Homo-oligomer: A and B are copies of this chain.
Amino acid sequence: MKQSGTIVEKQYFTYGAAPDRLQLESGAVLGPVTIAYETFGTLNRDRDNVILIAHAFSGDSHVAGHYPTDREGDKPGWWDFMVGPGKGIDTDKYFVICPNILGSCMGSTGPKSINPETQKPYGLDFPMMTIGDMVTTQKALLDHLGISELRAVVGGSVGGMQVLEWCVRFPEMIRSAVPIATTMRHSALAIAFNEIARQSIMADPKWNNGDYYGGDFPRMGLAVARMVGHVTYLSDEAMRRKFGRRLQDKEAFSFGFFDGDFQVESYLRYQGSKFVDRFDANSLLYITKAADYFDVVDRVTASGPLKGGDLQKVKYLVISYSSDWLYPTYQAKELVQALKRTGQDVSFCEIEADCGHDAFLIPDERLTTLVKGFIDGVG
């Protein structure tokens, strides 16, 4: 029996075959490129009801609804509480597009894709790509769909970086932007955590310099990398409330290393082991590196003057979470100040929540109300 609710299918857009391959920011070329995407709602006649949702590092195009193949009990898309008929981003009104990012392993071209030159998976032959390159492919997708205006670009975390990149690259296309739980550039702390995750994968002999497709993959290294990620997504308070020092399925300490004693250990091990079944280790390497390289400070600061006095105003709603220590509120405020200095129209809200960076993925009426009010009010 199928799921009730919105049914959606993954679609694919391929372009950039030789000789029209993509020129990447690193100087490398790549092509052809496939971008997986999903759409929700109906494009109106004026083609001006489009909302682009950019997903976070390990996300995918499946932002809401169910696939036709889903069975009763299967989980809907990752932002189903936000996106759908009558919801915060109302698909009765808006045409929502969510593309899977370049470099991912969820349908778009990435390191596990076949390299046409070798007929083998790219592995480390996949060129380094940037957040800018991700946005370039999304722009190509919109061109392909005949869309030249975005009512809103919305995204959290690495998705928020794409939102900011969109705004500095194509402000003339954008009426509003909602960067959530994000930053103009990674702090040393954020880079440090990503580097530990990468080192953990690269330390696994099964990583084999990225050449592991078709064989055993770096399961252990990838699991530890994900554990590191999960600690940064939570917060001290969230972990205290969620786990405290409670033991997992035992009354006393095990005095051993193989069974986790504490619930938090079991949780992390579970998250690690679940992740390795769905995510590619090389994709983690490439996407974390793109996030570390990302830096729009200069371009945001210059976004007024660069337009030659004819400032393109984008309406912004910047949202941060009080307990996010990966991209803390002070970084959101730096963004707000930088945007205001260029004369942009900026609203800012810090949501009080103890659940850390991942808060934007957790149903919260305040977030939904904020986003709905803002997007519906875009002139």
Contact = CB atoms under 8 A, between A and B. Distances in A.
A328 B187 contact: no
B192 A231 contact: yes
Contacts of A293: 253, 261
Question: Which of A196, A240, A325 has the most chain B CB atoms inside 10 A of its CB?
Answer: A196
Interface string A204-230: 110000000000000011011001100
Interface in A176-206: 185-189, 191-193, 195-196, 198-200, 202-205
A188 B264 contact: yes
A192 B261 contact: no
Contacts of A220: 203
Interface in A289-329: 289, 292-293, 295, 325, 328
Contacts of A106: none
A124 interface: yes
Interface residues of A, number: 58
A245 B188 contact: yes
A333 interface: no
Contact of A228 (B124, B228, B253): B228
A268 interface: yes
How many identical subunits does the complex contain?
2
Contact of A256 (B128, B243, B295): B128
A26 interface: yes
A262 B221 CA distance: 22
A353 interface: no
4 closest Cβ contacts across the A-B interface?
A203-B220, A188-B239, A128-B255, A188-B243
Interface of A: 26-28, 124, 127-128, 185-189, 191-193, 195-196, 198-200, 202-205, 220-221, 223-224, 227-228, 231, 234, 236, 239-240, 242-245, 253, 255-257, 260-265, 268-269, 272, 285, 289, 292-293, 295, 325, 328
Given A128-B255, A187-B245, A195-B260, 12 more contacts: A124-B257, A185-B245, A188-B242, A188-B245, A188-B262, A189-B236, A192-B264, A195-B269, A196-B231, A199-B269, A203-B224, A224-B224
